[in-house]
Amino acid sequence: MKKTETRIQKKNHSAIKSAGLKVFAQFGFRGSTLDQIAAESGLSKPNILYYFASKEAIYEALLAQLLTDWLQPVRDIDPAGDPVEEILKYAKHKLKMSRLYPRESRLYATEIIQGAPRIKSVLTGELRDVVENLALLINHWADAGSIRAVDPYHLIFSIWAMTQHYADFEVQVKAIWGERDHFEDAEQYLEDMLRRMLTV
């Protein structure tokens, strides 16, 4: 059973995870140091290791949280809803997560690019299952004629690719697009694209 956290524990666990997210998202696991996380969180290095067993434990706590948040919106897609609107709702939700939590997106991206050494089992397990179910649903919608027939997997990949691009490649987007907000227009473009793809 889980003991309730003290006030200080709650504060410090949260400070460490927040600092870890910032550092790991930028430098990856191997490129990040406890000293960086210590400096970022305002705690001393030994104190950090009082709250987390190791550097790896911080990283894994972040990944675990991330995967939960990532997968839930896929599960929230309503098979009884309007197909195009449901897919659109999901895509917009994903885009909003990119805008609100770009560091989480980047942390995930670095983990995947590095070959997902710590979460490969989740990818081939939970993630795969969830996506397979969604693909079945999309195919079912296509068979029923509610949407145009498209490869469901590549449809999903394209939604992921585009939404995450705006978070992961933010410096590049900003270098080209300028500093003004690009998410507004991105949403419109994404909606236009998906409607064109899904409407007969």
* Residues of this chain that bind a copy of itself (CB under 8 A): 25-32, 106, 109-110, 112-116, 120, 123-124, 127-128, 131-132, 150-151, 153-155, 157-158, 160-162, 164-166, 168-169, 171-173, 175-177, 185-186, 188-189, 192-193, 196-197
* Number of other CB atoms surrounding residue 50 within 10 Å: 13
**Nearer Cβ to a copy of itself (16/186):** 186
The rounded radius of gyration (Å) of the Cα atoms in the chain is 19
* Distance of closest approach, residue 11 Cβ to DNA, in angstroms: 8
Question: In the window 18-37, what residues touch DNA (CB under 7 A)?
Answer: 32-35
C-alpha distances (whole Å) from 107 to each of 48, 50, 90 are 20, 24, 21
Q: Please, which residues have CB within 8 angstroms of residue 102's CB and are 6 or more apart in sequence?
A: 167, 168, 170
**Nearer Cβ to DNA (22/99):** 22
Burial class (CB in 10 A: 0-12, 13-18, 19+), 71: middle
Give the residues lining the site for DNA (CB under 7 A): 6-9, 12, 32-35, 43-47, 49-50, 53-56
